[in-house]
Amino acid sequence: MAIKDAKSEARELASAFDAKLDRVYSVNFADAPSIPTPYARQSMIESGRAHKQAYNVSDIVISSEVFVTYLIKQ
């Protein structure tokens, strides 16, 4: 759904410049910052929060940034 929405927005932006999109030229993924797991786990253990979050059943959200460059139809 995110890709479909992004493609629609790209077409709309190109249209504002009186242009039409051609094919995808490149796709790049942004580097995601990460916390080393041993440090996060050790911090939770030391603070006494490890047992409280052992059975956390809440939603997990995974996000990423993707940059797509399109060619313009001539």
Q: How confident is the model over 6-20, as pLDDT tens digits?
A: 999 999 999 999 999
Q: How confident is the model over 37-54, as pLDDT tens digits?
A: 555 555 555 565 555 555
Name residue 29's beta-bridge partners. Answer: 66
* Dihedral sign from CA coordinates of 26, 27, 30, 36: negative
Integer Cα distance of 74 and 3 in angstroms: 24
| Of the candidates 66, 68, 74, the residue with the CA atom closest to the CA atom of residue 24 | 68
Its pTM surpasses 0.85? no
Contact 9, 61 (CB under 8 A): no
Q: Checking phi first, is residue 17 left (phi over 0); if not, alpha (psi -120 to 50) or beta?
A: alpha
